[in-house]
Amino acid sequence: MPKVLILSRDAEEYYQRIEAAHLPALEKLAAAKNIDEALALGNDFDIIFGEPKRMRGILAMLPNLRWAQSTWAGVELLLDPALRRDYALTKASGIYGILMSEYVFGYMLFHERRMLERLQAQKEKRWDESITGSLRGKTIGLLGVGSVGAHLARTAKHFGMTVRGYTRASEACSEVDEYFHGEALFDFAAGLDYLIGVLPTTDSTRHIVDAALLERLPAQAVFINVGRGATVDDSALINALGNQKLALAVLDVFKQVPLPTDHPFWQTPNLLMTFHTSGPSLPGDLSLVFIENYNRYINGQPLLHQVDFERGY
């Protein structure tokens, strides 16, 4: 009979939602905001549900652990080879598509529609009817096409864009007009209006956005990163922006969080930062992800969004 530990900043809200769902066969449901609280609740849990940064510390103390459901899409913290891997790890997925589309297209439109310039014109009481750009007919390149990338592709088609996708091998999303793999990274980048980073950190994605890649982008291109900070060579990005080889970068993810105040990103011209807010983890959605997987767990079905420890996502 399953015993579930919720270990999360939002422990109380998750507890209420999961309790209200009256999960079948559930023997024990407990909720803690931190490891100390959790340990007081026992160590007989076979299921944990929470943020990777909290779950990481308790992994070794749960002898019966069989499944961990992450509230985050990014689970790198649990992939450290020094940590145990004898349980099923599932990540948050499928719920971030709309949220990330809102973020990415919000900032693309912020750029095309010259919102900053209009604000400035209004301040100066200047009737600024300079013509705006449009997404229509422009080309977006998705660096990574998982469930978030697929939603971005759909939104791009809605706005009349051409969509390129760069993946290891997958060509599953029919809204991608052209796929690129492996060595074709530079072909993928050539002529893009928008480059969108949606990649997890793995050995093959670390610093994939480097000087050589940035050089392939046209000078009017915009780079938006909602994947992982480690996929970007920070200095190369700063140089590209400084040398007008890139029009704008919008970063939601960073190598270090919060970013130290002496990091040059804070003051790099044409670089906007959004502090890891692009895909807010909403307890309502995440509870549904957990509940769906719980029902699969007790019925012996394959869990959704299970992470391959070797592959890294």
Q: Report if residue 110 touches its own copies, rule: CB under 8 A.
A: yes
The residues in 280-309 that bind its own copies, with binding defined as CB under 8 A, are: 280, 282
Give 39 or 119: the residue with its C-beta nearer to its own copies: 119
Among 132, 204, 243, 301, binds its own copies (CB under 8 A): 132
Q: Report if residue 125 touches its own copies, rule: CB under 8 A.
A: yes
Among 26, 35, 88, 109, binds its own copies (CB under 8 A): 109
Smallest gap from residue 125 Cβ to its own copies (A)? 5
Cα–Cα distance list, 309 to 59, 80, 87, 109, 124 (Å): 15, 9, 10, 37, 55
How far apart, in whole angstroms, are the C-alpha atoms of residue 103 and residue 181? 26
In total, the chain counts a number of residues equal to 313
Give 22 or 123: the residue with its C-beta nearer to its own copies: 123
Cα–Cα distance list, 76 to 131, 135, 141 (Å): 44, 34, 24
Among 56, 159, 215, 295, binds its own copies (CB under 8 A): 159
Q: What pairs with residue 179 in β-bridges?
A: 165
What character string, x for contact with its own copies (CB under 8 A) and - otherwise, covers 47-86? ----------------------------------------
How far apart, in whole angstroms, are the C-alpha atoms of residue 163 and residue 156? 7
The answer to whether 112 touches 61, Cβ cutoff 8 Å, is no
Among 273, 288, 291, 298, binds its own copies (CB under 8 A): 273
Size of the site for its own copies (CB under 8 A): 47
Contacts of 165 (CB under 8 A, 6+ apart): 141, 142, 145, 149, 153, 171, 173, 176, 178, 179, 180
Q: Report if residue 22 touches its own copies, rule: CB under 8 A.
A: no
Smallest gap from residue 54 Cβ to its own copies (A)? 17
Among 64, 266, 301, 311, binds its own copies (CB under 8 A): 266
Q: Report if residue 175 touches its own copies, rule: CB under 8 A.
A: no
How far apart, in whole angstroms, are the C-alpha atoms of residue 290 and residue 93? 11
Among 36, 86, 130, 169, binds its own copies (CB under 8 A): 130
How far apart, in whole angstroms, are the C-alpha atoms of residue 36 and residue 263? 34
Q: Hey, what's the torsion of the CAs at 46, 52, 57, 62, to 10 degrees?
A: 10
Binding site residues, its own copies, CB under 8 A: 98-99, 101-103, 105-107, 109-110, 112-116, 118-119, 121-122, 125, 127-132, 134-136, 154-155, 158-160, 258-259, 261, 266, 272-278, 280, 282
